A and B are shown apart, each in its own frame.
Chain A
Amino acid sequence: MKHIPKIDKFFLSLNLFLISIHILFLALLIKTLYPIHFMEENLFFFDLLSKPLHIPYWLIIICTNINILSLSFIGKLIWGSREWVILPALYVLNPWTPYLASLNSFYIYLASLILIMILGFIFIKSTNHWIGAVISIFAGVLLLYSSLIIFIIFPLMVIGIIILRLFSKNEIKKLSFWIILFCVPLFMAIFKNSVGWENIYRNEVTILSEEGFLNDVNKFQGQAQKRGFRLLSKVAENRYVYFAKYASLKIIKNLTPATYFTPQEKLASFSFSPPIFLGFILPFLFGLYSLLKSTQSAKFLGLSLILIIPSLLSKQIVDLNRLVIFSPIIFYAISYGLINLYRSKKFSFRIILFLTIILVFIQMFVTISDIYLRETIRFDKTSGINFEIK
């Protein structure tokens, strides 16, 4: 990881190929699912100024293709040789991101900025300081201007970087200075429009306004007190314990393989397509296990958990739309697993790799035909005639 990778013919042609496949998949999805779409989300800064502005559909399509290029760069920086192609290929092949992009998901745009920022960080870690710094600052500022949730988690990310010592203090100071400087208009808008801030916060962060669990607590306490267990119910069934349990459930569920590799949580609230094909589950577990063995990778994985916070703050237990910003981390673990399986000479690993490929191809075929034959009807059955998904 010393220099910016060379953009050779192979790199270009493979990316072109991946983008073509991605566009074909998107075309199939758009043709089948149109006019189903996610509700448009306004950019944070413009919402504060009461001049709603949202990301247009064409920009989301561009962003999803930028993501392929970013992942290719990141893959090339990490692995160097031809193995880099696995990372963007996972983005292209799995239904998660094409699905959300075709439905006009705002979080695809955020994922783009996050990937560009990660790319910048990797550049900083290599010798090319200035390019990395420019890219990181540009993406970071745009992220902060775009989403309140990112605005909330951004300080956590900085604190995490400082604690885990992923960068030198000097580098963090420089980056923070420029980002804060460029964000001055945003801070001013927040101070000027505190009511607007509160409204946006209430819309975006729904976990704290969850009334359901307060009802449950009252119901449990009432029943226990009737039977003479007043003290015990106060200890074990108070709102703080219940909220802590609810939060734990959300966190664990956002990190369970079934969430990512099966249609347990429905994509866009109606689909039977899994976010990631089931066949990738073994390489993922293998990759995760290998990554956790290295302290540096474990630190990076720990820090990346911040990206599940938007999903945790959602009303749903798992929000696959918001969780898409965490998808590159899952793809990275899968790539790592696949590469290690491929490099290993063990017979059992070869068998796993073979089974993965077979299963993925079968599921890909099944999923595409299912999308074509059933997804629209499935949407009609679950959501009725309203084509806007909230």
Chain B
Amino acid sequence: MIKLQVILLLLAITIIGAVLRFTNLTNNPPSLNIDEVAYGYSAYSILKTGKDENGKFMPIAFRSIGDYKSPVLIYSLVPSIALFGLNEFGVRFTTVLAGVLSIPLIFLLINILTHNFKISLVGAAFLSTSPWHIYYSRFASDHMMGTFFLMLGFIFFHKLLAGFKVWLPAAIFLAASMYSYHSHRLFIPLFIGSVLIFNHRIIRPPNIKAFLAIFIVLILPLIFLTLFGPLNTRAQMVFLSQDIDYTRYVILDHIEKSGENSLLFFFWAKRYLNYFQPDFLFFNGLNMTSPGTLGLGVLHLFEFPLLVLGIIHLIQKKSNFKKLIILWILIGLVPASVTNNEQSAGRSLLILPALVVVISLGTIYFFKIVKNLSNIFLKTAVLGLLTLLTFISLVHAFLVFSVYFPNERGEAFMEGTKETVLYALENKDKYREIVFDPYRGIEAQNIVNIPYMYVLFYSQYDPVKFQTEQKENQGEIFKFDKFVFRRIDWRQDRLKRGILFVGSPWSLPLQDIREEEILKKIYLTNGNLALLVVSPHPD
């Protein structure tokens, strides 16, 4: 029986978590990124027509911008967009809600493992203030949805292992997690398989058989799409062997074919162990500040000693969940490490609940050790040091979220594209054609913007019209209605009349444009000029 005091504490922790996730949601991150507008418009299209923007009826894999997005987030966005409209809040609401609900969920998860309210509340508090969790809650992210369903599925799966007949919810939620994000598709089968192998003596077969049967039936379409459908192409595209560091630095652009597969294996091992590096864990894993600076890791720095103590506690003490947690962390990093990114906080988010369990155990262990210290001075010093470290870490995290991140990473969220699109939509009738250059960037023109999605999103373009109208798609040129998406060549384009051009100063060089031709300049939060809206007046 849960005490009222515990419920009130959990409620307070959840409210704190909600405040941290909902505050200034529409402006921080400073803009919707490409994936968010794509999710939003696909959901809008499903809401209005039952088909995605490409005219496919209720797809399991959304072609979207060519990256075959997972369906769970898009379908779960439909009610949110119906309720709040196709805007920033409507798109971000579902993820942030999943983020907030994860807080009581981690309480339940830890409680079924440890049967200890204290540890469970500590875990809920850690998740509530976790920079990793807050960051991925604050924008539409399928990583968060996948992890939410994974936690839910794990709770029922653990109950199932304990002998309860909960095979249906366990199978449904774990399958939902697999439909939510790519990493979970590899992780969940590996995890279930390993848990069943390691616990084969204590598991009751009838329950497991029913669970496995339903689970396999539920994920059959996914298996088919992964093996024979478009998801296979995506998997190949993001596989480790396509990694730029591997191809350029390790195998030197296939200079010598022999031994490449073995090198790939050791390259993978390097990537895998990289996820245990301190810079990822405590200093810069979230990439919320400029590269090279000490920003924010996926965990707070003050959690380092607690994590170490938690690991020691987990190894030393006999507990029935020890193997589960260790397997969760070790297998959880496999999917992220076989893809082509140095360290991806999103792809590895699924291990966060397991890490929270370890850190919570470490915290209780820490206070136990401190309590047993006989030297008052030492006791005060240790507690004081941890308090100071906690305070500094939390203040730093607050500053990163509220100041440095919008200042330094606006471009990663395509800051400014919304303003250009809104301007173009307002003035659409004045021009016979509106040209968007998809490339932008402050240091170099190295970011692909996919502005047509922003046009669809902010104009709330009729999905029926978009699905059925004639569109031109030739190589790097994409055209519908009055909108053209192509590279701008100012030497040629400056001679054209009645056309509105939107692009970065790289394609619209300021020194070659007269002041009266510039209709709008868009700046990033940090003051850098990001985009220009220009209409040429040839002499």
A198 to B69, CA, bound (A): 60
A229 to B395, CA, bound (A): 10
Knowing A229-B399, A232-B395 are in contact, say whether A378-B277 is a contact too (CB < 8 A).
no
Knowing A236-B396, A253-B278 are in contact, say whether A216-B293 is a contact too (CB < 8 A).
yes
Q: Does B269 contact A (CB under 8 A)?
A: yes
Q: Which candidate, A118-126, A171-179, A240-248, is the interface stretch facing chain B?
A: A240-248
Whether A264 contacts B258 by the Cβ 8 Å rule is: no
Q: A212, A236, A289, A366: which contacts B263 (Cβ < 8 A)?
A: A366
Whether A373 contacts B256 by the Cβ 8 Å rule is: yes
Q: Does A349 contact B (CB under 8 A)?
A: no
A216 to B396, CA, bound (A): 13
The minimal Cβ–Cβ distance linking B512 to chain A, given in whole angstroms, is 32
Residues of chain A in range 206-260 having any CB-CB distance to chain B below 8 Å:
212-213, 216, 219-220, 223-224, 227, 229, 232-233, 235-237, 241-242, 245-246, 248-249, 252-253, 256-258
What string of 1s and 0s marks CB contacts (under 8 Å) between B243-281 and chain A? 000001111100110110011001001100110111100
Whether B403 contacts A216 by the Cβ 8 Å rule is: no
Q: Does B239 contact A (CB under 8 A)?
A: no
Q: Does A138 contact B (CB under 8 A)?
A: no
List residues of chain A with CB within 8 A of the CB of B263. Answer: 272, 366, 370
Whether B273 contacts A264 by the Cβ 8 Å rule is: yes
Q: Does A314 contact B (CB under 8 A)?
A: no
Knowing A262-B273, A264-B270 are in contact, say whether A236-B392 is a contact too (CB < 8 A).
yes
Knowing A263-B270, A378-B249 are in contact, say whether A256-B262 is a contact too (CB < 8 A).
no
A262 to B396, CA, bound (A): 32
List residues of chain B with CB within 8 A of the CB of A224. Answer: 399, 403-404
Q: B248, B256, B273, B294: which contacts A374 (Cβ < 8 A)?
A: B256
Q: Does A377 contact B (CB under 8 A)?
A: yes
Whether A381 contacts B399 by the Cβ 8 Å rule is: no
A side interface size, CB within 8 A: 44
Whether A235 contacts B392 by the Cβ 8 Å rule is: yes
A381 to B247, CA, bound (A): 13
Q: Does B301 contact A (CB under 8 A)?
A: yes
Q: Does A195 contact B (CB under 8 A)?
A: no
Knowing A249-B294, A256-B276, A257-B273 are in contact, say whether A377-B403 is a contact too (CB < 8 A).
no
Whether B259 contacts A373 by the Cβ 8 Å rule is: yes
List residues of chain B with CB within 8 A of the CB of A241. Answer: 392
List residues of chain A with CB within 8 A of the CB of B270. Answer: 258, 262-264, 274
Q: Does B283 contact A (CB under 8 A)?
A: yes
For residue B404, which residue of chain A has the nearest CB?
A: A223
Chain B, interface size: which category? 35 or more
Whether A223 contacts B252 by the Cβ 8 Å rule is: no
List residues of chain A with CB within 8 A of the CB of B398. Answer: 232
Residues of chain B in range 161-199 having any CB-CB distance to chain A below 8 Å:
none
Q: B258, B391, B392: which contacts A369 (Cβ < 8 A)?
A: B258
A213 to B293, CA, bound (A): 8
List residues of chain B with CB within 8 A of the CB of A236. Answer: 392, 395-396, 399
A374 to B392, CA, bound (A): 46
The minimal Cβ–Cβ distance linking A350 to chain B, given in whole angstroms, is 18
A381 to B251, CA, bound (A): 12
A289 to B274, CA, bound (A): 21
For residue A236, which residue of chain B has the nearest CB?
A: B395
The minimal Cβ–Cβ distance linking B97 to chain A, given in whole angstroms, is 28
The minimal Cβ–Cβ distance linking B268 to chain A, given in whole angstroms, is 10
A287 to B210, CA, bound (A): 43
A257 to B391, CA, bound (A): 29
Whether B294 contacts A246 by the Cβ 8 Å rule is: yes
Whether A237 contacts B399 by the Cβ 8 Å rule is: yes
For residue A250, which residue of chain B has the nearest CB?
A: B278
Q: Does A71 contact B (CB under 8 A)?
A: no
A377 to B398, CA, bound (A): 46
Q: Does A261 contact B (CB under 8 A)?
A: yes
Residues of chain B in range 285-332 having any CB-CB distance to chain A below 8 Å:
292-294, 301, 304, 315
Q: A229, A245, A248, A256: which contacts B277 (Cβ < 8 A)?
A: A256
- Chain A binding surface SS class: helix
Whether B278 contacts A249 by the Cβ 8 Å rule is: yes
Pick from B248, B262, B266, B403 the residue with the most CB of A within 10 Å.
Answer: B266
Q: Does B129 contact A (CB under 8 A)?
A: no
A224 to B256, CA, bound (A): 51
Q: Does A362 contact B (CB under 8 A)?
A: yes
List residues of chain A with CB within 8 A of the CB of B252. Answer: 374, 377-378, 381
A73 to B500, CA, bound (A): 80
List residues of chain B with CB within 8 A of the CB of A256. Answer: 276-278
For residue A245, which residue of chain B has the nearest CB?
A: B294
Knowing A227-B402, A253-B279, A366-B263 are in contact, say whether A242-B273 is a contact too (CB < 8 A).
no
Whether A237 contacts B396 by the Cβ 8 Å rule is: yes
List residues of chain B with CB within 8 A of the CB of A362. Answer: 262
Q: B269, B293, B392, B402: which contacts A262 (Cβ < 8 A)?
A: B269
Q: Does A340 contact B (CB under 8 A)?
A: no
What string of 1s and 0s marks CB contacts (under 8 Å) between B383-418 and chain A? 000000001100110110011100100000000000
Q: B266, B273, B276, B283: which contacts A366 (Cβ < 8 A)?
A: B266
A370 to B266, CA, bound (A): 12
The minimal Cβ–Cβ distance linking B441 to chain A, given in whole angstroms, is 20
A272 to B259, CA, bound (A): 13
Q: B248, B276, B277, B395: which contacts A235 (Cβ < 8 A)?
A: B395
The minimal Cβ–Cβ distance linking A10 to chain B, given in whole angstroms, is 35
A248 to B393, CA, bound (A): 14
The minimal Cβ–Cβ distance linking A197 to chain B, given in whole angstroms, is 32
For residue B293, which residue of chain A has the nearest CB?
A: A216
Whether A373 contacts B403 by the Cβ 8 Å rule is: no
List residues of chain B with CB within 8 A of the CB of A263. Answer: 266, 270
A256 to B301, CA, bound (A): 16
Q: Does A363 contact B (CB under 8 A)?
A: yes
List residues of chain B with CB within 8 A of the CB of A253. Answer: 277-279
The minimal Cβ–Cβ distance linking B361 to chain A, given in whole angstroms, is 18
Whether B274 contacts A369 by the Cβ 8 Å rule is: no
For residue A373, which residue of chain B has the nearest CB?
A: B256
Whether A377 contacts B255 by the Cβ 8 Å rule is: yes
The minimal Cβ–Cβ distance linking B248 to chain A, given in whole angstroms, is 8
Whether B399 contacts A232 by the Cβ 8 Å rule is: yes
Whether B256 contacts A278 by the Cβ 8 Å rule is: no
The minimal Cβ–Cβ distance linking B154 to chain A, given in whole angstroms, is 26
Knowing A227-B403, A274-B266, A373-B258 are in contact, say whether A249-B276 is a contact too (CB < 8 A).
no
The minimal Cβ–Cβ distance linking B500 to chain A, given in whole angstroms, is 34
The minimal Cβ–Cβ distance linking B401 to chain A, given in whole angstroms, is 12
Pick from B274, B292, B304, B407 the residue with the most CB of A within 10 Å.
Answer: B407
For residue A220, which residue of chain B has the nearest CB?
A: B404
The minimal Cβ–Cβ distance linking A233 to chain B, given in whole angstroms, is 6
For residue A266, which residue of chain B has the nearest CB?
A: B249
A225 to B249, CA, bound (A): 42
List residues of chain A with CB within 8 A of the CB of B403. Answer: 223-224, 227, 229
Q: 8 closest pairs, A vs B, by CB?
A: A258-B273, A262-B270, A252-B278, A236-B395, A366-B262, A236-B396, A216-B293, A373-B256
10 pairs from A and B in contact (CB 8 Å cutoff): A223-B407, A224-B399, A245-B301, A256-B277, A362-B262, A366-B262, A373-B259, A374-B256, A377-B255, A382-B249
* B interface residue numbers (CB < 8 A to A): 248-252, 255-256, 258-259, 262-263, 266, 269-270, 273-274, 276-279, 282-283, 292-294, 301, 304, 315, 391-392, 395-396, 398-399, 402-404, 407
Apart from A235-B395, A246-B294, A378-B249, what are 15 other A-B pairs with CB-CB below 8 Å? A220-B404, A224-B404, A232-B398, A256-B278, A258-B276, A263-B266, A263-B270, A264-B277, A272-B263, A366-B259, A366-B262, A366-B263, A369-B258, A373-B256, A374-B252
